[in-house]
Amino acid sequence: MTTIKSNASTEVPGRDEIAAAFRGIQEEICTRIETADGAGKFTREAWEHKGGGGGLTRIMRNGDVLEKAGVNFSGVEGTLTEEMAAGIGAEVSPFFATGVSIVMHPHSPHVPIIHMNIRYFETTGGTYWFGGGIDLTPHYVNPAQARFFHEKVKAVCDRFDPAYYPRFKQWADDYFFIPHRGETRGVGGIFYDRLVADETHTKPDLLAFCLAVGRLFHDVYTELIRENRHLPFTENEKKWQLIRRGRYVEFNLVYDRGTRFGLFGNGRTESILMSLPALASWEYDHTPAPGSPEADTLAMLRKGRDWTAGQK
């Protein structure tokens, strides 16, 4: 297969350097999250991809805080089928795709679920782009913590481009949305895709932005774990957590492009579906009592909310 080779002496990062930087971020995140958890350790499972390349899947099970957490790195080669190419608007050609994908499900309903992804895609035809995102899914929305999260995300975005946060925040609102429920998945965050170099952003800038999002992840999640890990919870709150996890499953299996692209593109199923929780539940027509914390949370799962303004 013809591939674009990186060249360490040039300013423009090639695929191998980008993949190595992503691999480094995976390592850093696992180390930092093991520290934050205090007990759980990530396993290490290297795998190969049929088309070329492979990945490293790291899973924590039954940590002190985290019930199930996955940090997946992949760097795979393949050839776009016509259907896949049409779906992503690229030419039918060999491609290389590398990324880090993370989903963490805590034991406690008071610690939020979190997701982060950074990715790079290129074809041998010269097309390339960066993408990524980070979003927070509290089982119970805490507006002060949602504000903390969004302000941290905004600060990282602002370092690269003041236009990023408003644009990518709205993109996240639109992307992390469950139409059949009329709910956002959580309090959102940012989502971005198809970033290419232009007059104001070089390719190294774009890579640096992705890496900054990766580092942001372990900083904010460490803080959110610290703040919430020791809060007591009731059986009823645990039940609500399992229902919210059910919605998470619905989003990932019905809509999430990464999940569906992976499953339909012969990706490694276990690495793709590490995003699903250890336990989830569905109750027919579950409706929280008016005025309950659960009803308050549902009312806040709406698009277009400015979390940085600290709205209640």
If one asks whether residue 295 binds a second copy (CB under 8 A), the answer comes out as: no
Binding residues for a second copy, how many (CB under 8 A)?
Answer: 31
Q: Which of 115, 139, 150, 218 is catalytic?
A: 115
Q: Is 115 a catalytic residue?
A: yes
Give the 3-state secondary structure of residue 221: helix
C-alpha to C-alpha distance for 16 and 75, rounded to whole angstroms: 9
> What string marks each residue from 6 to 45 as x (binds a second copy by CB under 8 A) or -?
---------------------------------------x
List the one residue from 20, 92, 249, 298 that touches a second copy (CB under 8 A): 249
Region 169-228 residues binding a second copy, contact defined as CB under 8 A: 179-181
Torsional sign, CA 234, 235, 236, 240: positive
Give yes or no for a contact between 120 and 97, defined as CB atoms under 8 angstroms apart.
Answer: yes
If one asks whether residue 235 binds a second copy (CB under 8 A), the answer comes out as: no
List the one residue from 230, 285, 289, 309 that touches a second copy (CB under 8 A): 285
> Measured between alpha carbons, how far is residue 297 from residues 35, 241, 244, 263 in Å?
30, 12, 10, 31
If one asks whether residue 88 binds a second copy (CB under 8 A), the answer comes out as: no
C-alpha to C-alpha distance for 120 and 118, rounded to whole angstroms: 7
C-alpha to C-alpha distance for 1 and 57, rounded to whole angstroms: 25
Region 42-71 residues binding a second copy, contact defined as CB under 8 A: 45, 59, 61, 68, 70
Give the 3-state secondary structure of residue 34: helix
Nearer to a second copy, 24 or 265 (CB): 265
If one asks whether residue 83 binds a second copy (CB under 8 A), the answer comes out as: no
CA angle 54, 59, 61 (to 5 degrees): 160
If one asks whether residue 280 binds a second copy (CB under 8 A), the answer comes out as: yes
Which residues belong to the active site? 115
